[in-house]
Chains A and B, each alone.
Chain A
Amino acid sequence: SQELEQSPQSLIVQEGKNLTINCTSSKTLYGLYWYKQKYGEGLIFLMMLQKGGEEKSHEKITAKLDEKKQQSSLHITASQPSHAGIYLCGADMNYGKLTFGQGTILTVHP
Chain B
Amino acid sequence: GAVVSQHPSRVICKSGTSVKIECRSLDFQATTMFWYRQFPKQSLMLMATSNEGSKATYEQGVEKDKFLINHASLTLSTLTVTSAHPEDSSFYICSARASEDRTYEQYFGPGTRLTVT
Spell out A's residues near B (CB within 8 Å). Answer: 30-31, 33, 35, 40-45, 48, 50, 88, 90, 92, 95-103
Contact = CB atoms under 8 A, between A and B. Distances in A.
B8 to A, nearest CB: 14
The contact size tier of chain B is 20 to 34
Contact of B34 (A30, A45, A48, A98): A98
A43 B102 contact: no
Contacts of B108: 35, 42-45
Contacts of A99: 46
B93 A102 contact: no
A96 B102 contact: yes
B57 to A, nearest CB: 9
A21 B31 CA distance: 32
Given A33-B105, A40-B91, A45-B106, 11 more contacts: A33-B106, A45-B105, A50-B103, A88-B43, A90-B106, A95-B102, A96-B100, A96-B102, A97-B46, A102-B42, A102-B43
Interface stretch (B14-22, B65-73, B76-84, B109-117): B109-117
Nearest 9 interchain pairs by C-beta: A96-B102, A42-B110, A43-B108, A100-B43, A42-B111, A100-B44, A42-B108, A102-B43, A48-B105
